[in-house]
Amino acid sequence: MAKIKGANAVLDVMYKWGIDHLYGFPGGSFDSTMNAIYEMQDKVKFIEVRHEEAGALAASAEYKLTGKLGVCMGSAGPGAIHLMNGLYDAKYDKTPMVALVANVPTPRQDINFFQAFDEMPWFRDVAVWVHQAKTKEALPVLMDTAIRQAYAKKGPAVLVIPKDFGWQEIEDNYRVSASNHVADNYAAPTAESIEAATKLIKEAKNPVVYFGLGASGAADELKEFSDKFKMPMMSSYLGKGIVEDSFKPYLGTIGRIGAKAPNEVQGHTDLVVWVGNNSPFSVLWFPKNAKVIQIDVDPEKQGKRHSVDVSILADAKKSLRALIDAGEAREESPLYKAALADREEWDAWTASFADDHLKDEGRVRQEPIWDVINKEAADNAVFAIDVGNVNMDHVRLLNMNGKQRWTTSGLHATMGYGAPAAVAAATAYPDREVWHLAGDGGFAMMGQELLTLARYNMHVLTVVFTNETLGYIEAEQRDESNQPLSGVIIPDNDWAKVAEGMNMKAFTVHDKAEFEAAVEEWKKMDGPAFIDVKYTKHMAYSTELNTLDDPEFVKYYHAEALHPFSYFAEKFGLEIDAASGASGHSEDKADALQVQATTSASTPETAPDTTSGASH
């Protein structure tokens, strides 16, 4: 019978599952696997990243973008530890992936050898499945099992491979179960649950839809449902892009990164149709006495974030279709009318800054830059979004069309995600535009991956929004804890020069016209480019404060054209008691605004601290 080396068998199993590449960084304990990669280079491509964390984040991002499992690798000891951040991203975003982890040869284990650790305990918390091969013959079986476990349990699986087993030959007779892997097929709703839900919909005065990533694939049903029952729609952040942003009843994301309208509307509903959404922040939203119809395939999620009146344990697409077919069409409610008017005003206000006529302390605002991105990005572009204020700009200002794709680090929210995700996007979609969008804080954490983009000539545009601060944390310190700024200042840097040193065409821009010219230059290229945007230090509109009855707030945010929600409530006959407090002013909010006003132009010299760490 034919023989095959153990490491080759592992890669062969991966290949037979339709996975033709993996992300990693070589190490001595993985020599056997690197040899297998060399011998199988006609089947398996090795994407060599500059840090194992980047490889793990790329593998996690790949599934988020494609629905197909990604694979990464890390050598024994430090290489394995470096994988952890990416593995936790996959764990918290329910992302199937497999990490191959090396261990020293079996005779050198348990004797305090160089880079030798008991690695199994490290991964037990983060992994849905972790196992170290005890025999060379087990390697292909365990690799097949790791892939199945990752898909089944929707998280990272870890296979630990002793170096000597990778070199040793085994019989080439193992069976791969890839042909038995089928797409999820979730249940249809029960007739009783649909009947109970339609009754609540009929009785509600001001119902809304709140959907999340679990509604993926149900865009048409969401829009038809909203149109028939005249419900404004809001989503979690990860739900962005499921429904195109041009659909007017879709207000956007609730929360501090979201726009004004969804944050105001959510507080005045009496019924929430909650579809495939597990946002942890949702415990803070919606009236406590609002009724809820929750649609989810996972019984653990039912009632987790809000009390539920009707639980529909079923597929989102099938459930929405059943409700559409069973329910009676509704007239526009006062909340529906107020919501659409609120969004329309916000959109017009945002668009008023797009021509770049207004500079904040002489630096370009957010809106002109994102206006260019909206106009220049291809209809099927892929966006790799880092973590920080870039998420706020993305959710408010990028108008996604339903064909474009994007990814970020959701629940784990790790800064530095953007560059590895761009590597994954360009690997998975080599014929599509990839936009890597990051703040200077996030970029600084994983910026070495520009070397990877350049090495493989990936058609990725990296845009770094340089405002010399950890803006998201700065806003937390100002708006939430009302404290002096501490540890948020980033020293000014010539990021374009850094990118040029990493073999990449780079630009520094200060206004809309320069940014547009740089983007057009990249679009003529077949490889990567880098743009350092010298971005406003002015914080984006605070939906946490949202005190439009305060002249100082209005002045700081140039919000003269905006009305408080009470204006729309009165205009469309929404009961005054239901709309009260939409833009209430408090002493805490006033204090926060004063902190913001007095420190908006702070320099590193006046900031209290420029070196301490900040949470991601």
DSSP per-residue string spanning 514-549: HHHHHHHHHHT-SS-EEEEEEB--SPPP-TTT--TT
| Domain stop point among 488, 518, 534 | 534
**325 shares its domain with 379:** no
State pLDDT tens for residues 24-55: 999 888 899 999 999 999 999 999 999 999 99
Q: What is the CATH number of the domain that holds 46?
A: 3.40.50.970
CA distance 409 to 335: 33
On whether both 195 and 176 belong to a single domain, the answer is: no
Asked if residue 250 is part of any domain, the answer here is: yes
* Residue 607: strand, helix, or coil: coil
Is residue 382 in some structural domain? Answer: yes
Global pTM value: 0.91
Do the strands 3-5 and 169-171 form a parallel or antiparallel pair, or are they unpaired?
antiparallel
586 assigned to some structural domain: no
Judge whether 386 lies within some domain: yes
Report the share of the chain in percent with pLDDT over 90: 79
Counting as low any pLDDT under 70, the low residues of the chain are 107-109, 111, 113-116, 576-616
The reply to whether 85 and 221 lie within a common domain is no
CATH number at residue 255: 3.40.50.1220
Q: Are 10 and 76 contained in the same domain?
A: yes
Q: Is there a domain that residue 260 lies in?
A: yes
In a domain, 560, yes or no: no
Domain hosting 363: range is: 356-534
Q: What is the pLDDT of residue 362?
A: 81
Tell me what pLDDT residue 424 has: 98
Which of 180, 202, 224 lies at the terminal end of a domain, its last residue?
180
- Rounded to whole angstroms, how far apart are CA atoms 90 and 150? 10
- List the beta strands (DSSP E) in 163-281: 169-171, 207-211, 233-235, 250-253, 271-275
In a domain, 47, yes or no: yes
Q: Is 366 in the same domain as 321?
A: no
Are 327 and 376 members of one domain? no
Q: What is the pLDDT of residue 281?
A: 87
User: What was the pLDDT predicted at 113?
Assistant: 63
Specify the number of domains making up the chain. 3
Q: How far apart are CA 9 and CA 1, in angstroms?
A: 15
Q: Which of 502, 534, 566 is the last residue of a domain?
A: 534
**329 and 199 in a common domain:** yes
- Shared domain check, 500 and 433: yes
Based on the fold, state whether residues 384 and 306 are members of the same structural domain.
no
Instruction: State the residue for tokens 């790329």.
Output: 58
Q: Does 243 map to a domain?
A: yes
Q: Answer yes or no: do 468 and 372 share one domain.
A: yes
Same domain (yes/no): 32, 158: yes
Instruction: Kindly report the number of other CB atoms within 10 A of residue 205's CB atom.
Output: 13
CB 420 within 8 A of CB 58: yes
The answer to whether residues 155 and 223 belong to one domain is no
